[in-house]
C-alpha cells in the first residue's frame, strides 16, 4: 500500500471535515459567544460525544477490532469468517450500548457537574444547571450511534475503503452548520440547544452513511443473540485498556476542562474549546489519518511476517507526521491571535475573547507533534495485540496532567490546562517511543534521522517570516467575512510556500525526492 496515497485520501477528507468544523465553530462564536450557554455546550454537552468518539470510535474499538478482523480475514476461511466475527461483536455491543445510554441519561445531572467542575466560579442558578443537564441529555444518544458506526467503519478500513469512513464526520458538521445557520434562536441559550439537537441528528446521518456503504461492498451484519465466545472475550479484553491508551489526550483534555470549569471564570471553557478545535485541524488530518491507515496496514504486515516492511512503514509514518505537524505548531504559536481573530472575532465573540483564546491555542500547539505521534506509535503496540502497555503510559500521562493543572491554573489561569495537556502528551510519546525501541519493534532509520532536524529548522524559518507577514494582514482580519477568509488564505498559503522553500533550502527534501515520488505515482497508475 502507498502510505502517502492512503493518507492523502483519508487526510484530505478529514481536512475537509475539519474545515467544515471551523465554519461550524465560527457560526457558534457569532451566535452563542463565550458565556454560560457556550460553556455548557462546549464543556459538557459536546465534550462528552467528542471524547467518546476519540476514545471508542477512533481509538479503543478500532485498536482492538481491526487487528483481530484482519487476522481472521487472512485465515483459511477468509473474509467470511471475519464477517461472522463482526456479527458476534455487534450482537454483544448493541445491548451494552443501549444499557449504557440509558444509564447516562439517568445520571446526566451528576455527570454534568463532574464534567464542568460544577461551574463553581460562574455561580450558576438552578435553572442554568438544569439547562446544562438538558443539553447533555440531548447529545448522549450520539454515543451509541457513533459506537455502532465505529464497528462499520472498522470493517471498511480493513477492506481498504478508508475514504468512506473518513467522510462520515463531515455529516456531523453539516448537520450542525445547518442548525446554526438556519435555525439559530433569538439568544445564545436557544442556539446552544439547537447545536445539541444537531449533534444527535449528525450521529444518525453518520450511521446511515456507513450502513449504506457496507451494503454497497456486500457487508450486511445481522443482529444475533449475544454470545460470549473466546474471540469476543478477547475483543472486549482489549477494548478497555485501549480506550485509555488511545485516548490519553482526550482524557487529559476532559480533566483540564473540568478543572477549568471549577476554578476559572465564565468563558474559560469556551476559550479552551475553540483553541482545541483549531489544534484539532492538523491533528485530525494527520494523526487520525495516519492512525487509520497504519493500524490495518502494519497488522497485516506482521501477520504475514513482513517485519522489515512494517518498520519501514512506521518510519515513514513518523516522517509524514513531523513534516506536517512541526510547521503547524510553529504557525499556531507565532500567529495564534491573527488566526483566532480572523475565524471567531465577530458577533458575540469579542476582541478580548479572541486574545485570551489565542493564548490557549499557543499553549496547546506546543504539544501538537506529540498528539499526532501518539496516533502513529500506538499502532505498533495494537498491531501486536498489546493494549496494556499504552494504557500504563496513558495513566502516567493523566497523573502528570492533573498535577500540572493544579500547579499551573493558579498562576497562568486558562492557559494552564492546555499547557498541562501538551506536557503530558509529550511525556506519553517519549515513553511509547522508548519502549518500542527497547523491544526492537521500532528503530529510526537514517532517512528519518537526517530529516527531523532539517524539518525543525525549516519550520522556524517559516515561523519568523509568518510572524512578520501577519502584521500586514491585520486590518483585514476584522473586516467582512470575505476579507477575513482572504487574509487567512494568504497567511496559510504564504506559510506553506515558505515552508516548502525552506525544506529544500535546508536539505530536508531534495529534488531527487520529488522525482522519485513522481516516478512511483507513474508506476502506480500503470499498475
- Please classify residue 527 by burial: count the beta carbons closer than 10 Å to its beta carbon, then call 0-12 exposed, 13-18 middle and 19+ buried: exposed
DSSP secondary-structure letter at 415?
Answer: G
Q: Alpha-carbon distance 287 to 284, whole Å?
A: 6
Contact 225, 89 (CB under 8 A): no
What is the predicted pLDDT for the residue at 524? 40
What is the predicted pLDDT for the residue at 5? 58
DSSP-derived secondary structure for 174-219: HHHHHHHHHH--SSHHHHHHHHHHHHHHHHHHHHHHHHHHHHHTT-
Contact 406, 318 (CB under 8 A): no
Cα distances from 511 to residues 152, 313, 515, in angstroms, run: 42, 22, 6
User: Locate cell 535546508: which residue?
Assistant: 506
What is the predicted pLDDT for the residue at 515? 54
What is the predicted pLDDT for the residue at 382? 77
User: Locate cell 476554578: which residue?
Assistant: 263
pLDDT > 50? residue 184: yes
Q: Alpha-carbon distance 129 to 50, whole Å?
A: 21
Residue 526 — very low, low, confident or very high, per pLDDT cuts 50/70/90? Answer: very low
**Residue from 50, 124, 122, 107 nearest 269 by CA:** 122
- Work out the angle between the directed axes of helices 336-344 and 307-334 (0-180°, nearest 10): 80
Contact 421, 272 (CB under 8 A): no
Rounded mean pLDDT, 114-130: 82
Q: Alpha-carbon distance 95 to 200, whole Å?
A: 19
DSSP-derived secondary structure for 112-150: HHHHHGGGGGG---HHHHHHHHHHHHHHTHHHHHHHHHH
Task: Find the radius of gyration of the CA atoms of the chain.
Answer: 22
> Which of 109-113, 198-202, 341-345 is the most confident on average?
198-202
Q: Can you state the percent helix, strand and coil of the chain, rounding each to 5?
A: 85, 0, 15
What is the predicted pLDDT for the residue at 77? 67
**Max Cα separation, the chain?**
67
What is the predicted pLDDT for the residue at 353? 92
Q: How many CA atoms lie within 13 A of 172 on its CB side?
A: 29
User: Locate cell 473518513: which residue?
Assistant: 166
pLDDT > 80? residue 240: no
Contact 22, 281 (CB under 8 A): yes
- What tens digit of pLDDT does each residue of 35-90 get? 889 989 988 898 877 777 766 655 667 777 877 888 888 766 667 888 888 888 88
What is the predicted pLDDT for the residue at 102? 94
Indicate the pTM of the whole model.
0.73
Q: How many CA atoms lie within 13 A of 459 on its CB side?
A: 20
Higher pLDDT, 396 or 300: 396
Residue 289 — very low, low, confident or very high, per pLDDT cuts 50/70/90? Answer: low
The DSSP element (H or E) to which 483 belongs, if any, is helix 481-506
Q: How many CA atoms lie within 13 A of 275 on its CB side?
A: 38
**SS3 sequence of 357-392:** HHHHHHHHHCCHHHHHHHHHHCHHHHCCCCCHHHHH
Which sequence spans correspond to the domains of the chain? 3-444, 450-527
- What tens digit of pLDDT does each residue of 193-219 get? 999 999 999 999 999 999 999 888 888
Q: What percentage of the chain exceeds 70 in pLDDT?
A: 87
DSSP secondary-structure letter at 287?
Answer: I
pLDDT > 60? residue 4: no
Rounded mean pLDDT, 308-324: 84
446 contacts: CB under 8 Å, gap ≥ 6: none
* pLDDT mean across residues, the chain: 83
Helices (H), 247-367: 248-263, 268-282, 289-303, 307-334, 336-344, 351-365
Residue 518 — very low, low, confident or very high, per pLDDT cuts 50/70/90? Answer: very low
Higher pLDDT, 478 or 335: 335
End-to-end Cα spacing for the chain: 12
What nine digits make up the cell of 214?
457496507
Would the CA dihedral through 17, 18, 20, 25 be positive or negative? positive
Contact 319, 447 (CB under 8 A): yes
Q: Alpha-carbon distance 192 to 39, whole Å?
A: 10
Neighbours of 137 (CB within 10 A): 17
Residue 520 — very low, low, confident or very high, per pLDDT cuts 50/70/90? Answer: very low
The answer to which of 162-166, 415-419, 422-426, 441-445 has the lowest mean pLDDT is 162-166
What is the predicted pLDDT for the residue at 336? 92
Residue 527 — very low, low, confident or very high, per pLDDT cuts 50/70/90? Answer: very low
Contact 361, 275 (CB under 8 A): yes
What is the predicted pLDDT for the residue at 441? 85
Neighbours of 178 (CB within 10 A): 15
Residue 362 — very low, low, confident or very high, per pLDDT cuts 50/70/90? Answer: very high
Would the CA dihedral through 447, 450, 451, 452 be positive or negative? positive
CA angle 199, 204, 206 (to 5 degrees): 90
3 state DSSP class of 231: helix
Amino acid at each position: 500500500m502507498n502510505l502517502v496515497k492512503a493518507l492523502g485520501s483519508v487526510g484530505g477528507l478529514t481536512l475537509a471535515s475539519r474545515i467544515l468544523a471551523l465554519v461550524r465553530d465560527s457560526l457558534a462564536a457569532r451566535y452563542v459567544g463565550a458565556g454560560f450557554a457556550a460553556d455548557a455546550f462546549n464543556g459538557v454537552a459536546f465534550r462528552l460525544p467528542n471524547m467518546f468518539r476519540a476514545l471508542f470510535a477512533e481509538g479503543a474499538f478500532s485498536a482492538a477490532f481491526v487487528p483481530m478482523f484482519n487476522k481472521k480475514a487472512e485465515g483459511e476461511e477468509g473474509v467470511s469468517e471475519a464477517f461472522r466475527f463482526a456479527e458476534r461483536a455487534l450482537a454483544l455491543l448493541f445491548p451494552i450500548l443501549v444499557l449504557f445510554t440509558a444509564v447516562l441519561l439517568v445520571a446526566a445531572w451528576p455527570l454534568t457537574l463532574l464534567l464542568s467542575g460544577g461551574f463553581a466560579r460562574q455561580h450558576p442558578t438552578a435553572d442554568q444547571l438544569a439547562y446544562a443537564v438538558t443539553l447533555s441529555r440531548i447529545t448522549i444518544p450520539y454515543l451509541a450511534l457513533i459506537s455502532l458506526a465505529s464497528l462499520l467503519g472498522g470493517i471498511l478500513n480493513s477492506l481498504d475503503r478508508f475514504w468512506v469512513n473518513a467522510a462520515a464526520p463531515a455529516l456531523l458538521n453539516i448537520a450542525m452548520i445547518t442548525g446554526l445557520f438556519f435555525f439559530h434562536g433569538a439568544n445564545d441559550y436557544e442556539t446552544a440547544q439547537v447545536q445539541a439537537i444537531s449533534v444527535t441528528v449528525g450521529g444518525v446521518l453518520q450511521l446511515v452513511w456507513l450502513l449504506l456503504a457496507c451494503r454497497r461492498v456486500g457487508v450486511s451484519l445481522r443482529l444475533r443473540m449475544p454470545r460470549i465466545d473466546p474471540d469476543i472475550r478477547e475483543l472486549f479484553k482489549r477494548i478497555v485498556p485501549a480506550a485509555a491508551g488511545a485516548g490519553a489526550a482526550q482524557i487529559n483534555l476532559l480533566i483540564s476542562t473540568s478543572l477549568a470549569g471549577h476554578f476559572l471564570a465564565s468563558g474559560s471553557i469556551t476559550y479552551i474549546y475553540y483553541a482545541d478545535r483549531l489544534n484539532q485541524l492538523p491533528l485530525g488530518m494527520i494523526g487520525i489519518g495516519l492512525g487509520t491507515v497504519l493500524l490495518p496496514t502494519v497488522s497485516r504486515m506482521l501477520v504475514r511476517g513482513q517485519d522489515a516492511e512494517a518498520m519501514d512503514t512506521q518510519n515513514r509514518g513518523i516522517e509524514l507526521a513531523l513534516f506536517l505537524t512541526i510547521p503547524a505548531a510553529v504557525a499556531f504559536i507565532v500567529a495564534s491571535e491573527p488566526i483566532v481573530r480572523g475565524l471567531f472575532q465577530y458577533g458575540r465573540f469579542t476582541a478580548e475573547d479572541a486574545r485570551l483564546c489565542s493564548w490557549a491555542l499557543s499553549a496547546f500547539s506546543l504539544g501538537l507533534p506529540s498528539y499526532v505521534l501518539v496516533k502513529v506509535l500506538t499502532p505498533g503496540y495494537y498491531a501486536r495485540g498489546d493494549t496494556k502497555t499504552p494504557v500504563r503510559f496513558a495513566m502516567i500521562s493523566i497523573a502528570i496532567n492533573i498535577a500540572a493543572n493544579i500547579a499551573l491554573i493558579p498562576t497562568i489561569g486558562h492557559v494552564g490546562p492546555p499547557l498541562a495537556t501538551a506536557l503530558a502528551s509529550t511525556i506519553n510519546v517519549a515513553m511509547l517511543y522508548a519502549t518500542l525501541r527497547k523491544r526492537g519493534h521500532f528503530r529510526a532509520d537514517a532517512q528519518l534521522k537526517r530529516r527531523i532536524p532539517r524539518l525543525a529548522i525549516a519550520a522556524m524559518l517559516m515561523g519568523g517570516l509568518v510572524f512578520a507577514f501577519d502584521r500586514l494582514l491585520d486590518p483585514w482580519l476584522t473586516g467582512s467575512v470575505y476579507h477575513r477568509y482572504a487574509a487567512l488564505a494568504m497567511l496559510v498559503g504564504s506559510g506553506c510556500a515558505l515552508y516548502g522553500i525552506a525544506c529544500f533550502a535546508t536539505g530536508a527534501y531534495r529534488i531527487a525526492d520529488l522525482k522519485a515520488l513522481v516516478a512511483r505515482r507513474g508506476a502506480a497508475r500503470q499498475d
